[in-house]
Structure 1
Amino acid sequence: MHEMALMGGVFEVIERTLTHHEVKRVLQVKLKVGELTNAQPDALQMVFEAFCKDSICEGAELIVERVPVRGRCRNCQLEFSVETMFFLCPECQNTSIEVIQGDELLLESLEVE
């Protein structure tokens, strides 16, 4: 379950962020999770709850925003949504595609008390 490693990284960022502020507790954590991470929202929720136990985040709500995959053709520079894992430019049929969205895991915001 790679969600454990992903959430470990999220909690490292949360801890570093909170050291600079006086926070009683974390109420909400919002993540942006790209489709290419293959992270499952249910698994992320389960792992989040485990990391929260006995911490300043205990009881916090996790919000996961899924980010679709977008690519840019290296040949014609067209940006497009990637609907399947077959990376092919719909304009020129080139297979040299740069992923410009959908592989991220970002801590977008923290709501704290």
Structure 2
Amino acid sequence: MHELGVTRAVLKVVLAEANERGLTSVVGITLTVGEMHGFEQEWIQRYFSAAARGTAAEGARITMVPVPPRFRCRLCEADFAIDVRRDRVPRCPRCHARDYELLAGKELMVTGMQAF
């Protein structure tokens, strides 16, 4: 259900940008989304469609560009990626430590808008 709050925030950003540029209709939105959020495309679109009714973004299609998580081990400084759906607790593949920092995978940005 956390997709609902996100879609409201996205709608606010998109409508503000459309208004600033004098656009009357938004037909597409590109979101760059870190996979650590666990957002589902279907739910983002459903909530957005409901929230956008009666606005310049009504009917807009959302495209999500996923950003896989990347980590850096604090012990051996190896950079590594994991499949967050399979491996819930990251472990460095080089030294097997669980002491790491997240480099990528929590992004959430509107990176594109198709409008007229």
TM-score, length of structure 1 as denominator length:
0.91
Amino acid of the structure 2 residue aligned with 1:36: M
Structure 1 vs Structure 2: percent identity of aligned residues? 27
Query: In the alignment, which residue of structure 2 is the partner of 1:111?
Result: 114
Deviation at 1:19, TM superposition (A): 3.2
Amino acid of the structure 2 residue aligned with 1:26: V
Matches of 2:98 and 2:16, distance apart in 1: 40
Deviation at 1:85, TM superposition (A): 1.6
SS at match of 1:91: coil
Deviation at 1:2, TM superposition (A): 0.7
Amino acid of the structure 2 residue aligned with 1:72: R
Query: In the alignment, which residue of structure 1 is the partner of 2:16?
Result: 16
SS at match of 1:32: strand
Structure 1 runs of 4+ with >3 Å offset: none
Matches of 2:77 and 2:19, distance apart in 1: 42
Unaligned runs of 5+ in 2: none
Count of aligned pairs between the two proteins: 113
SS at match of 1:11: helix
Matches of 2:15 and 2:99, distance apart in 1: 39
Deviation per CA, 1:23-81, whole angstroms, max 9, x where unpaired?
02112100112111121111111001112211101121211122211111112221111
Matches of 1:21 and 1:13, distance apart in 2: 12
Query: In the alignment, which residue of structure 2 is the partner of 1:30?
Result: 30
- Pairs within 5 Å for 1:83-94: 83=83, 84-94=87-97
- Pairs within 5 Å for 1:1-113: 1-83=1-83, 84-113=87-116
Matches of 1:6 and 1:111, distance apart in 2: 19
Unaligned runs of 5+ in 1: none
Matches of 2:74 and 2:10, distance apart in 1: 32
SS at match of 2:20: coil
SS at match of 1:54: coil
Deviation at 1:13, TM superposition (A): 1.6
TM-score, length of structure 2 as denominator length:
0.88
SS at match of 2:113: strand
- RMSD over aligned Cα atoms: 1.3
